[in-house]
């Protein structure tokens, strides 16, 4: 698999890069991304041959079909990270919740959210590549909650990679904060910022533009990379669970091989949905991909009206904070795949300069042949959590947004795979409130309440967080970030 640029080539970047090239330096010409030039055929023959494959075998076969420039030993080592999931043979269980609604649980990894599905193997691959080349990498991350813990967990104690992670102090849940500040490894630095997520993110942008910072990185021979979902090294692992969930439906005798299904995805930066899109283009029998959003419903308008509009929109904080995103990075890869580099560059330039773009009627129709979309308010989400719990299934507020799309976006009675992106433990105050009306300010109270009502235990890796020593104590003003990170590099 070769990778080409979503906004075309500027004459300075190479015309195409390999997989390792795309993951080590993910930004391409004109501020664009890398996307695959061609896709392998993973249609019926591939599916039939993998009916009996376990998750790791399937993943190995998908990566082999993609023909990436990573040694088999490094791939196998990366896939062994799934051995740390609850059930290594079935890291992403598929659970029937209603007649035709099946939930693919993507949160059985170490940090209890779906970011582990891709970041766990990605961390291993990036570190292997860095070691092979004798290079050192710095990953900088600003997080409002889920990417930070998953990035720290995957890179902890790995050679040739360091991670500095900024979070807004007071702006994450207790569990999310504890997952970060209890991580104790010499290659990790976690920094709380007095301020909101935007302050953390802006501070990071300032740092990236600072000449003193650049000079110091050069002196120390440290390269910068990214662990967010603009990095294709994450996307490739997100193909796998869509295919796996489909094969699970066949194995559970819910469908015949070849029968079409809906994929119903709670979307933020569109990495999850993009994985589904590529799987569909490679031959997975998908009727449509349903894009579920919260009140930050830019994607709903994009699919339904062909308009991407960021004018006078500000982020609304919701109970599904991992989806509180307006500028969804991976949409660009869809534009590129459907409409080509020239058009993508034009549309992305309009978005940067005028903060909106409008697709033609024809383009909108193409988009709608693949996607349908709807959004779910916090109140609606709360009702889905409560009703679904009464029917015997406990879910988090991100997963709940999919139930709205399941009700409104399907025009055929086909089986639907809903992707569950977080365990109940990660957003417990919202769930406890939906179940009983209680208002908890601390996660621990909410966790205990839910555990008692659902008659389940708090998982050990969550329970332990409340007793672990705090290893990362830095909480500073954003003006002091550069000094702090430079000291970490020394
Ligand atoms: C990251 C995240 C999402 C959004 O996924 P994208 O791939 O960015 O669209 C949804 N739910 C949870 C819990 C997440 O952590």
DSSP codes of every residue in 301-342: HHHHHSEEE-TT--PPP-S-GGG--SS-TTHHHHHHHHH-HH
CA–centroid distance, 135 to ligand 1, in Å, is 30
Q: Identify the pLDDT of residue 366.
A: 98
- Locate the ligand 1 atom nearest the alpha carbon of residue 271 and give its number: 7
Question: Ligand 1: distance of its center to the CA of 207 in Å?
Answer: 26
Range of the domain at 393: 81-112+233-465
Residue 201 in any domain: the answer is no
Q: Ligand 1, residues 242, 269, 298, 385: which to mutate, most atoms within 8 A of Cβ? A: 269
| 189 touches ligand 1 (CB under 6 Å) | no
Quick one: pLDDT at residue 170? 85
| Atom of ligand 1 at shortest range from CA of 272 | 7
Q: Is 272 in the pocket of ligand 1 (CB under 6 A)?
A: yes
Our answer on whether the CB atom of 229 is closer than 6 Å to any ligand 1 atom is yes
The average pLDDT across 337-358 equals 97
Which run of H or E residues covers position 33? none
Phi/psi region, residue 261 (left: phi>0; alpha: psi -120 to 50; beta: rest), is beta
Select from 278, 322, 326, 331 the residue to mutate for testing ligand 1; criterion: most ligand atoms less than 8 Å from CB: 322
In angstroms, what is the span from residue 99 Cα to ligand 1's centroid?
26
Per-residue pLDDT tens digits for 177-231: 999 999 999 999 999 999 887 788 788 878 887 888 888 898 999 998 878 778 9
Is any atom of ligand 1 closer than 6 Å to the C-beta of 270?
yes
Over range 70-96, report the average pLDDT.
97
Model confidence pLDDT, tens digit, residues 116-132: 999 999 999 999 999 99
266 Cβ closer than 6 Å to some ligand 1 atom? yes
Decide: 397 in ligand 1 pocket, CB within 6 A.
no
- What integer pLDDT is reported at residue 424 of this predicted model? 97
Atom number, ligand 1, closest to the C-alpha of residue 270: 9
Going edge to edge, which strands form the sheet with 475-476? 222-225, 136-142, 161-168, 188-193, 475-476
pLDDT at 26 > cutoff 90:
no
pLDDT at residue 245 in the model: 98
Q: Is 322 a pocket residue for ligand 1 (Cβ < 6 Å)?
A: yes
Per-residue confidence band for 286, with pLDDT thresholds at 50, 70 and 90: very high
The residue with greater pLDDT, 16 or 198, is 16
Tally of domains in the chain: 1
For residue 490, the CA-to-ligand 1 centroid distance in Å is: 34
**Which ligand 1 atom is the nearest neighbour of the CA of 398?**
11
Choosing from 113, 273, 395 the residue with most ligand 1 atoms within 8 A of its CB, the one to mutate for a pocket test is 113
Would the CB of 177 count as within 6 Å of ligand 1? no
| Average confidence (pLDDT) over 145-172 | 92
**Cβ(29)–Cβ(5) below 8 Å:** yes
Rounded to whole angstroms, the Cα distance separating 160 from 78 reads: 16
Burial class (CB in 10 A: 0-12, 13-18, 19+), 363: middle
Q: Ligand 1 centre and the CA of 244: distance in Å? A: 19
Ligand 1 site, residue 421, Cβ cutoff 6 A: yes
- In the chain, % helix, strand, coil (3-state, to 5) comes to 50, 15, 35
In a domain, 297, yes or no: yes
- Of 323, 324, 424, the residue with max ligand 1 atoms within 8 A of its CB, to mutate for a pocket test, comes to 323
Residues 120, 220: Cα–Cα separation, whole Å: 27
Mean pLDDT score of the chain? 95
Return the higher-pLDDT residue of 458 and 314.
Answer: 458
Report yes or no: 89 and 126 within 8 Å, Cβ to Cβ.
no
DSSP label at residue 40: -
Q: Locate tokens 């640029």: which residue?
A: 5
Q: What is the mean pLDDT of residues 8-28?
A: 93
The stretch 453-468 carries a mean pLDDT of 96
In a domain, 308, yes or no: yes
Given a cut of 90, is residue 25 above it in pLDDT?
no
* pLDDT at site 313: 80
Here the tokens at position 146 are 């889920």
Answer whether 298 contacts ligand 1 (Cβ < 6 A).
no
CB 3 within 8 A of CB 35: yes
In a domain, 293, yes or no: yes
pLDDT at 475 over 80: yes
Q: What is the mean pLDDT of residues 7-22?
A: 95
Residue 412 Cα to ligand 1 midpoint, Å, equals: 26
Span 15-43, average pLDDT: 94
Q: Is 437 inside any structural domain?
A: yes
Asked if the structure places residue 204 within a domain, the reply is no
- CATH number at 401 reads 3.40.50.1100
pLDDT bracket for residue 62 (50, 70, 90): very high
Is 37 a member of any domain? no
Decide if 306 is inside a domain. yes
Mean pLDDT for 6-20 is 96
Average pLDDT over residues 298-313: 94
Substitution site in 111, 112, 114 for ligand 1 pocket (most atoms within 8 Å of beta carbon) = 114
Q: Is 280 in a helix, a strand, or coil?
A: helix
pLDDT at 144 over 90: no
Q: How confident is the model at residue 171 (pLDDT cuts 50, 70, 90)?
A: confident
Report the nearest-CA residue for atom 8 of ligand 1.
269
Cα of 146 to ligand 1 centre, how many Å? 8
- Give the Å distance between the CA of 323 and the centre of ligand 1: 6
């Amino acid at each position: 698999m070769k990778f080409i640029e979503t906004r075309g080539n500027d004459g300075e970047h190479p015309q195409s890069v390999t997989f390792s090239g795309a993951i080590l330096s993910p930004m391409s010409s004109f501020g664009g991304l890398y996307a695959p030039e061609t896709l392998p055929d993973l249609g019926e023959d591939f599916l039939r041959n993998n009916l009996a494959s376990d998750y790791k075998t399937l993943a190995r076969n998908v990566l082999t079909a993609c023909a990436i420039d990573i040694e088999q030993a490094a791939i196998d080592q990366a896939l062994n990270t799934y051995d740390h999931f609850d059930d290594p043979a079935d890291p992403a269980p598929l659970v029937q919740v209603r007649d035709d609604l099946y939930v693919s649980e993507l949160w059985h990894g170490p940090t209890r959210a779906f970011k582990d599905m891709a970041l766990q193997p990605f961390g291993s691959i990036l570190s292997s590549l860095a070691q092979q080349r004798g290079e050192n990498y710095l990953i900088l991350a600003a997080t409002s909650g889920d990417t930070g813990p998953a990035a720290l967990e995957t890179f902890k104690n790995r050679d040739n990679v360091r991670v500095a992670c900024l979070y807004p102090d007071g702006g994450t849940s207790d569990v999310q904060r504890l997952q970060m500040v209890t991580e104790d490894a010499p290659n990790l630095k976690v920094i709380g910022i007095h301020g909101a997520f935007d302050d953390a993110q802006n501070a990071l942008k300032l740092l990236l533009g600072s000449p003193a910072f650049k000079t110091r990185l050069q002196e120390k021979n440290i390269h910068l990379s990214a662990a967010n979902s603009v990095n294709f090294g994450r996307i490739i692992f997100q193909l796998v669970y869509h295919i796996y969930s489909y094969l699970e439906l066949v194995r559970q005798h819910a469908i015949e091989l070849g029968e079409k299904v809906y994929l119903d995805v709670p979307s933020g930066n569109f990495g999850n949905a993009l994985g589904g899109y590529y799987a569909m283009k490679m031959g997975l029998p998908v009727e449509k991909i349903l894009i579920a959003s919260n009140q930050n419903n830019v994607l709903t308008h994009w699919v339904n009206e062909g308009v991407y509009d960021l004018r006078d929109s500000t982020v609304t904080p919701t109970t599904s904070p991992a989806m509180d995103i307006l500028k969804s990075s991976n949409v660009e890869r869809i534009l590129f795949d459907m409409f080509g580099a020239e058009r993508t560059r034009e549309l992305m330039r309009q978005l940067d300069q005028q903060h909106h773009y409008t697709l033609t009627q024809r383009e909108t129709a193409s988009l709608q042949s693949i996607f349908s979309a709807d959004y779910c308010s916090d109140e609606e989400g709360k009702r889905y959590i409560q009703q679904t719990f009464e029917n015997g299934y406990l879910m988090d507020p991100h997963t709940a947004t999919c139930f709205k799309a399941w009700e409104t976006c399907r025009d055929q009675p086909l089986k639907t795979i809903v992707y569950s992106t977080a365990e109940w433990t990660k957003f417990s105050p919202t769930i406890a409130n939906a179940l009983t009306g209680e208002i908890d300010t601390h996660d621990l109270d909410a966790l205990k309440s839910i555990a008692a009502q659902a008659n389940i235990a708090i998982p050990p890796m969550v329970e332990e967080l409340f007793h672990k020593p705090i290893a990362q104590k830095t909480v500073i003003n954003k003006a002091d970030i550069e000094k702090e990170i430079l000291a970490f590099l020394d």
